[in-house]
Amino acid sequence: MLHLRAIVPADRTDDACEALADCAGATNIVVIPGAARSPSGDLVLSDIARESANEVLAALQALDLERDGSISIEKIDLSLSDAAERAEERAPGHGDDAVVWEELDRQVSEGTALTWSFVAFLALATQLAAIAALIDSPVLVVGAMVLGPEFGAVAAICYGLTRRQPWRIVEALRALIVGFAVAIAITYACAVVSRWTGVIETSRLPDDRPLTAFIYSPDRWSFIVALLAGAAGVLSLTAGKSSALVGVFISVTTVPAAGNLAVALALRHGSEIDGSLLQLGVNFAGMIIAGTATLLLQRLMWRLVLHRKGRAPAGRGT
């Protein structure tokens, strides 16, 4: 269940309550007249089944509440209510299968933001991956994968392709290109300095690295793993299962390939430079293809669920 809190101008409170009452998945509707001060209005509360969130949001947005009032939704960790259980039973489909498109829109918007923390995390992850390449450490490779923040931007590209929003794709690509360029440049500079000071030598990046060679040696399995990771990542975002998203981070070798690329550039290992670049391309291509296909499939399946229930699609993404 989700908890809805809306600030509603007094002249639209009855309409908002009627919209909630008409929604099969909404219950526990509460109105506190005049409670809101900025913006002013009545406070309307309700518990709604996740699978009905798009319908409720569309109805409230039709009243211009996001402009003249406020709409917010948060997850409920525990709900002991027979009324809430009946609302979930009445709502079409299952909550785990429902995509709250407004929520996803906000999530991917954050993923396109080129912030200092995004670049910092990416640079730190890339340097961990570079060290992993030097000492052939799969443990550090996994650590670099988990630390890398790039999947949010990948998800934003998938969402932009699904919603036909070129501007969102451009912003996400900008975040990825600039972020990886800065991270690789920093790691490259550190590797060059380490080489000058004798901390690392050319021989410290041998051709035979049995534990981490997959970083710069892409094959058909690299693309298959990227496809699976892209699909799983989008599913974990839309279903709100953050624990599954960690598994996605561990599956793909974008950051490790970037770290290996920086070290290979510093130590002038041409074959590994080409392999690392190809690995980056394969991973991003696979994740974007699978993530976009997953979002399109989710839209189609949810339309079928609503069609069987005799309900019209609602919300920006349905």
Q: What is the mean pLDDT of residues 225-237?
A: 88
Query: What pLDDT does 266 receive?
Result: 85
Q: How far is CA 78 from the centre of its chain?
A: 25
Query: What pLDDT does 307 receive?
Result: 67
Looking at the domain covering 2-91, what would its CATH class be? Answer: alpha beta
- Average model confidence (pLDDT) across the chain: 85
**Of residues 312 and 193, which shows the higher confidence score?**
193
pLDDT of 86 higher than 70: yes
Query: What pLDDT does 312 receive?
Result: 53
Q: What is the mean pLDDT of residues 40-44?
A: 93
* Chain segment 43-74, per-residue pLDDT in tens: 999 999 888 888 899 999 999 998 999 999 99
Q: How confident is the model at residue 203 (pLDDT cuts 50, 70, 90)?
A: low
What are the Cα distances from residue 147, in Å, to 249, 278, 284? Answer: 8, 22, 17
CB-CB contact of 172 with 178 (8 Å): no
Q: What is the mean pLDDT of residues 15-33?
A: 91
* Chain segment 208-218, per-residue pLDDT in tens: 677 788 888 88
CB-CB contact of 158 with 230 (8 Å): yes
CB-CB contact of 50 with 101 (8 Å): no
**Of residues 292 and 194, which shows the higher confidence score?**
292
The number of CA neighbours under 13 Å toward the Cβ of 223 is: 7
Q: What would the DSSP string read from start to end of 12-57?
A: GHHHHHHHHHH-TTEEEEEEEEEEEETTEEEEEEEEE-GGGHHHHH
Q: Give the count of beta carbons closer than 10 Å to the beta carbon of residue 106.
A: 10
Which residues lie across from 46 on neighbouring strands?
Answer: 4
Q: What is the mean pLDDT of residues 252-258?
A: 87
* Chain segment 101-157, per-residue pLDDT in tens: 888 888 888 878 889 999 999 999 999 999 988 888 888 888 888 888 888 899 999
Residue type, 132: A
Q: What would the DSSP string read from start to end of the chain?
A: -EEEEEEE-GGGHHHHHHHHHH-TTEEEEEEEEEEEETTEEEEEEEEE-GGGHHHHHHHHHTTTHHHHSEEEEEE-S----HHHHHHHHHSSS-GGG---HHHHHHHHHHHT---HHHHHHHHHHHHHHHHHHHHT-HHHHHHHHHH--THHHHHHHHHHHHHT-HHHHHHHHHHHHHHHHHHHHHHHHHHHHHHHTTSS-GGGS-S--TTTGGGS---HHHHHHHHHHHHHHHHHHHHT-HHHHHHHHHH--HHHHHHHHHHHHHHT-HHHHHHHHHHHHHHHHHHHHHHHHHHHHHHHHHHHHHHHHT----STT-
The number of CA neighbours under 13 Å toward the Cβ of 166 is: 0
Domain extents for the chain? 2-91, 103-303
The structure's pTM equals: 0.82
